[in-house]
Amino acid sequence: MPNPIPNITIPVDLTNPGQFFACCGLLELADRLWPGAEGWFTPGATFSLFSDVVACNLSAILKALATATIRALDQDDNASAIRLGLGKASMLLDWWRDEVAGGQRLKTWAGRQSGPQIFKLMAENIADITAEDADKAFDFSATVFDVKDGKTKKKTISPFYFDARRSGTGLDVGFSADEQQMSVREFPVVETLALVGIQRFRPRTDEGALRSFVYAAWPEHLPLIPAQGVACGAVQLPSCEYFRFARPSRGGEYVSMFTRATRERRSHA
């Protein structure tokens, strides 16, 4: 369809890997809820999504994610695969367990951190976003507290660190916010949607640079499967923009994060 009028248009910072993969997550969820959705990026730093179903809108997608059933397949494994239930639609999230296609290299949590628990708590905080504020969802921040045995704890839970704006750790500021019981604000929409997006939209791994990855933002109106191939560079379009980011370790075995991405020259992408 030439130049469709988008159901959704949301500002995006393409140098923030978390926001790029969050856009991919939006397309994934939209296609699951309303098959046939298309997505694309514009030079004006926005992500647009089209569906011929009128009910497709950003508020509906966020509500579906906030009220989804989130179940760890192995309750005793902090790196367990997750079953995400969206009414009649569902999907398996397990890219961080994939050693073949590079998913495991993107994993940012380890040790005692529970991926399913982080995802569940971040998703629950999305319910606070009103329909009027949905178009600013990527900037929505919240203090997300940990929960144990159904009781809210005083300390906040660490995010996945997909969002490059949330890059400060104890090594940066000189003390641990958790140990000081300080409230730290996260970006739950970006964190949850990015986890969903990376399931299909893997960046290309640069074998010549340690923990370096490249993704492509496509300007053409593409459905889910073709967009997947373009995003990782398997299908190259001359109009794409390419971005490189790293996943450095910043806190021993427990904390690693996505850095701010830099634009790549097309000839070097």
d(CA 199, CA 182): 32
CB 236 within 8 A of CB 242: no
Q: Write b or e for each residue in 40-70: b if 16 or more Cβ atoms lie within 10 A of its Cβ, otherwise e.
A: bbeeeebbbbbbeeeebbbbbbbbbbbebeb
d(CA 188, CA 137): 9
Task: Label the pairing between strands 89-93 and 82-86.
Answer: antiparallel
CB 93 within 8 A of CB 199: yes
Q: Supply the DSSP symbol for 109.
A: B
**pTM strictly above 0.75:** yes
Contacts of range 19-22, beta carbons closer than 8 Å, 24 or more positions apart: 19/138, 19/163, 19/190, 19/194, 20/197, 20/215, 20/217, 20/243, 20/261, 21/162, 21/193, 21/194, 21/197, 21/198, 21/201, 21/215, 22/138, 22/162, 22/189, 22/190, 22/193, 22/194, 22/197
d(CA 2, CA 220): 10
Q: Is 38 helix (H, G, I), strand (E, B) or coil?
A: strand
Q: What amino acid occupies position 91?
A: M
Per-residue pLDDT of the chain (269 residues; tens, 9 = 90+): 567 899 999 999 999 999 999 999 999 999 999 999 999 999 779 999 999 999 999 999 999 999 999 999 999 999 999 999 998 888 999 999 998 877 889 999 887 789 999 999 999 999 888 888 888 999 999 888 877 656 666 677 889 999 999 754 444 444 344 444 444 679 999 999 999 999 999 999 887 666 799 999 999 999 999 999 999 999 988 889 999 999 887 665 567 899 999 998 764 44
Judged on CB neighbours under 10 Å (0-12, 13-18, 19+), 105 is: middle
Closest of 137, 135, 136, 116 to residue 126, by C-alpha: 137
